[in-house]
Amino acid sequence: MTAVDFDELKVDDVSRHFGRRRAISHVSFSVTRGSLLGLLGPNGAGKSTLLAMLATLLRPSAGRIRYGAHDSATPGSALRSAIGVLGHDLFLYPELTAGENLEFFAGLYAVADPRASAIEALQLAGLADRADDAVSSFSRGMRQRVALERALIHRPRLLLLDEPFTGLDDASGAALTARLRALRETGAIVVLATHDLDLAEGLLDRAIFLRDGRMLDTVERPDGLRSTYRGVMSRPHATTVAGRGA
């Protein structure tokens, strides 16, 4: 199966309701290949719900999400093959080795040479020497690095990350940041939700600030991310300001 390809992800006036509760309300933005977009906001802001819709795991209650010429209303396996997801659950089998995990997922995606892809992925993760060790023996940071390569094993155009820095030490956080920068250079579209503003500092091409399911502001290439975050979140009735400089 050949994955679809696209140069732009576009979210157009998207809302998502769960009964009477609005998890996401009238959110719009676009992001192009080779860009890294951050979704920032407190717990309950709607970041994970938005990521789930981008992953085609949830359908919008209103509005549209487009992946180039393709619509999320009829996702299909070809579109989903162009998307990689790393969430709170790492989806690794602890009893299998790192190499076996990656080879298994490469096979699920019908990668041409699963074994070679697994070896290459472990080299990119800096874990080639641990290929034959069970994942259960790995630290949290090492498991996170394997899980990231699991999400990338099929070379997706769009990578979605939900709190990828959680539980990482400084070295693992720096390794993840470097890997994300390298992905951007390959033309991937990366969207990540994070609370770790220090690690996200200097990484994002654009930051979108969410609160109570609404988009408060969007800032291009934000500097001083923590102070910007405090300023946006302190507004009593903030409105969207597209493309504001930090």
- How do residues 143-153 score in pLDDT, each as one tens digit? 999 999 999 99
Residue 146 lies in a domain: yes
Q: Rounded to two decimals, what is the model's pTM?
A: 0.92
- Top pLDDT among 138 and 1 is at 138
The pLDDT confidence band at residue 237, using thresholds 50, 70 and 90, is low
User: Has residue 172 been placed in a domain?
Assistant: no
State which residues form the domain around 141: 94-155
Residue 46 lies in a domain: no
Domains of the chain: total: 1
Residues of the chain with pLDDT > 70, as a percent, come to 95
Classify residue 103: in a domain, yes or no. Answer: yes
In a domain, 111, yes or no: yes
The pLDDT > 90 percentage for the chain reads 82
The per-residue b/e assignment along 187-223, b for 16 or more CB within 10 angstroms, e otherwise, is ebbbbbbbeebebbeebbbbbbbbbebbbbbbbeebe
On whether residue 128 sits in a domain, the answer given is: yes
Identify whether 140 is part of a domain.
yes
* 116 within domain boundaries: yes
Instruction: Say whether pLDDT at 246 is over 80.
Output: no
Which tokens go with 23?
Answer: 């998890």
pLDDT range class, residue 1, cuts 50, 70, 90: low
Q: Is the pLDDT of residue 244 over 90?
A: no
pLDDT at 3: 72
